[in-house]
Amino acid sequence: MASSNSPPHKGDVSTCSVCFERYKNPRYLPCLHSFCHSCLESYIVSTCVAKEAPVGFRCPLCRDFVAAPGTFSSPEKWAKQLPLNESLITYLKSEKPSEDHETCEACRRTQEDQPASFWCKSCMESLCDMCTKYHRKNMMTQDHKLVQLSEIKLSGSAMIAENVCTKHKGEIMKMFCADHKEACCTTCVSFEHRKCNNVDSIDKCLTELQEGKQMERLLREIDKLSLKLNNIAKEEEENVSQIDRQSSELIQSAEKLLQETQAHLEELKQIYLRELSKIMKDRKGKVNSSLEAISEKKHYVEHCKQLLSQVKDSGSDIAYVCKFYEVKHKIDEIKKTYVNKVSFDIQGKLSSKIKELKSISKLSELSVFQKSCSMEFGFDVKSARMTLESEFTIEHSWIYGGCFLPSGGILLADYPNFRFIYLDCVGKSILQGKLVGPKPRDIIVSGSDILIALEGLNALQKVAMGKFSLGSTIPTGESCLGIAKFQEYLYVTRPTSIIKLDKQGNILKTYPTRKWTYSVTVTGSGDIVHCHYGGNSVTAMRDDGQTLWVYKHPQLIGPVCVTVDFLDNIYVAGEQSNNIHILSGKGKLLRILSDVPKPFCMRFKEGSLSFLVVTNGNCVKVYNLKTD
């Protein structure tokens, strides 16, 4: 890299600032810094490898941004498409390593040796002071660009031939080929562009651009694009701040939970210790009372024994006899009393829930929900043209739902005929699948399965892709009206609610809705959008159920279907108003497509601006949105 600890000498114009060796096939950047072809190629690839969809790189020296000279998807080819520094190549060929100064090329041709002080960008050779003087006086060369060699040595960026053809030495580029979008010299025109139809002089092209104010229009277009990029960047920056906030909230929530749990466990511990202390005190008291009674009986028995011992050894005969019977009577009496032997065994059984704490491997299950939205900067839905690609009618049917297959075909849900229909994109029927039971309301593709919402079955019907054979069902609890897919989740409209299911079919959330909510879709940002037929309204809500916006319009009557394109524009089919309303992701009206007779269902082809719309119940039309 140019930031190495041992850079080349500042005045050494022949040394690459990346590899610190003599230039090999030098190419220059728009900032006019030159580098070896191989150095530039490896630098571009290494800096772009970790980028997402790179569109350029930065100069290794000045860090100026360099736009991709070729296709965005091939950074490894960019170096080849940067121009060779022919002036530098010529200079390197003329420079003799043994000389301690640059020699005037003009003098060298006459076997003279004069130190060069200037460089002619047009002739691409070094000149001494005298030759430079005559170079400026000569009518043929007075317009040539001359720079001091000292400037080149200081910056290394001045040795670029201006207006000189890189293919034909010495030729000035005065023409422009509009077919190839490149400037060229007269020799290029004669040979390489002789079959081109749009070759004019640079002066004429400049005049046309200036008179047509094309530069101003392009600048305005760039300003619009820049504004869009700034807005997207602002949203991304806000998302970074949101990630920080959410992280802090999660940490605080975890700490609060731990503190509350610890406080609760400490409280339970104190209750446990107090209860244990009370039990221990009570039981020890009872044991001590029993022990005291036993101790008294022991003392009584010992007393009797002492009485007998006294008369046995030294008492009179009468005392012997009397004490014997007295003590015997006392012993007989004490035998009649009972000894209440008390034994306590204190045991404790810790709550199983406390034990379960030890088995917890994670404090929390962290989930990251990626919300992505593709941006096509050249597309403006407000001015887009609707181009009809195909149109066909399904006789004796009423199509409630439809979608595109990954292979390009179309699937339709035929409500009154209990069937789904597989057709190609021009309406040729390929297969008709009969359904057993309830009528199909909607149909989508989910992975390797086709899912059909069946009214009255309280389940989604799986159909195997390719074989089109009926498979298992996914219970939904109530009748299914519409279905949408976002990431790994399914969203199903029911008579008075929308449910969110995971890929195993578990109901994760239920969102209450008004009756006559037939259709649901999910934007790329994860917002859930549904339309209410009876209320003539469209509602968007977050994943937590909080309403984001509600759209109503006098010209929207009977919204029966809602869908979204990959740019996050929302399309609402007004069956009774005979139109389609196009909304932004924030619920703002962008456009109304009028004169659409009774649109009943709509759906976009994934990642495309092609969509199908069913009108009058059985007329299927495939449109494509295009901009000029």
pLDDT tops 60 at residue 539: yes
Question: What average pLDDT score do residues 123-131 get?
Answer: 87
Least confident of 130-144, 349-363, 393-407, 421-435: 421-435
Distant-in-sequence, close-in-space partners of 45: CB < 8 Å, separation ≥ 6: 75, 76
CA–CA gap between residue 272 and residue 348 (Å, rounded): 10
More confident residue, 387 or 466: 387
- Please state, as a whole number, how many other Cβ atoms lie within 10 Å of the Cβ of residue 244: 10
Q: What is the pLDDT, as a whole number, of residue 54?
A: 86
pLDDT tops 60 at residue 249: yes
3-state helix, strand, coil in the chain (%, to 5): 30, 30, 40
Most confident of 31-45, 152-166, 213-227, 419-433: 31-45
In the chain the domains, ranked by start, together with CATH numbers, are 26-92 (no CATH), 102-157 (3.30.160), 162-212 (3.30.160), 220-341 (no CATH), 397-605 (2.120.10.30)
Contact 530, 559 (CB under 8 A): no
Q: What is the mean pLDDT of the chain?
A: 85
CA–CA gap between residue 493 and residue 484 (Å, rounded): 9
3-class DSSP state of 248: helix
CA–CA gap between residue 8 and residue 548 (Å, rounded): 61
572-587, pLDDT tens digit by residue?
Answer: 999 999 999 999 999 9
CA–CA gap between residue 471 and residue 464 (Å, rounded): 7
Listed residue (253, 246, 488) closest to 364, CA to CA: 253
pLDDT tops 70 at residue 307: yes
pLDDT tops 60 at residue 374: no
Task: State the residue for tokens 């709509």.
Answer: 602
Query: pLDDT tier at 466 (50, 70, 90 boundaries)?
Result: confident
pLDDT tops 80 at residue 131: yes
More confident residue, 543 or 149: 543
Distant-in-sequence, close-in-space partners of 362: CB < 8 Å, separation ≥ 6: none
Q: What is the pLDDT, as a whole number, of residue 406?
A: 83
* % of the chain at pLDDT higher than 90: 31
Strands 449-455 and 439-446: antiparallel
Q: What is the pLDDT, as a whole number, of residue 1?
A: 43
pLDDT tops 90 at residue 239: no
Q: What is the pLDDT, as a whole number, of residue 362?
A: 78
Rounded to two decimals, the pTM is 0.50
- 25 burial (CB, 10 Å; 0-12 / 13-18 / 19+) is middle
Helices assigned H by DSSP within 55-185: 86-94, 105-108, 129-137, 149-155
Q: What is the pLDDT, as a whole number, of residue 5?
A: 40
pLDDT tops 80 at residue 602: yes
Distant-in-sequence, close-in-space partners of 164: CB < 8 Å, separation ≥ 6: 86, 121, 122, 124, 170, 171, 172, 173
Query: pLDDT tier at 412 (50, 70, 90 boundaries)?
Result: very high
pLDDT tops 60 at residue 96: no
520-531, pLDDT tens digit by residue?
Answer: 999 988 899 999
Beta strands in 478-618 (DSSP E): 482-486, 489-494, 497-501, 507-512, 517-522, 528-532, 537-541, 547-551, 559-564, 570-574, 579-583, 589-593, 599-604, 610-615
CA–CA gap between residue 574 and residue 561 (Å, rounded): 8
Query: pLDDT tier at 326 (50, 70, 90 boundaries)?
Result: confident
Query: pLDDT tier at 370 (50, 70, 90 boundaries)?
Result: low
Question: What average pLDDT score do residues 440-469 get?
Answer: 87
- 505 burial (CB, 10 Å; 0-12 / 13-18 / 19+) is middle
- Please state, as a whole number, how many other Cβ atoms lie within 10 Å of the Cβ of residue 539: 22
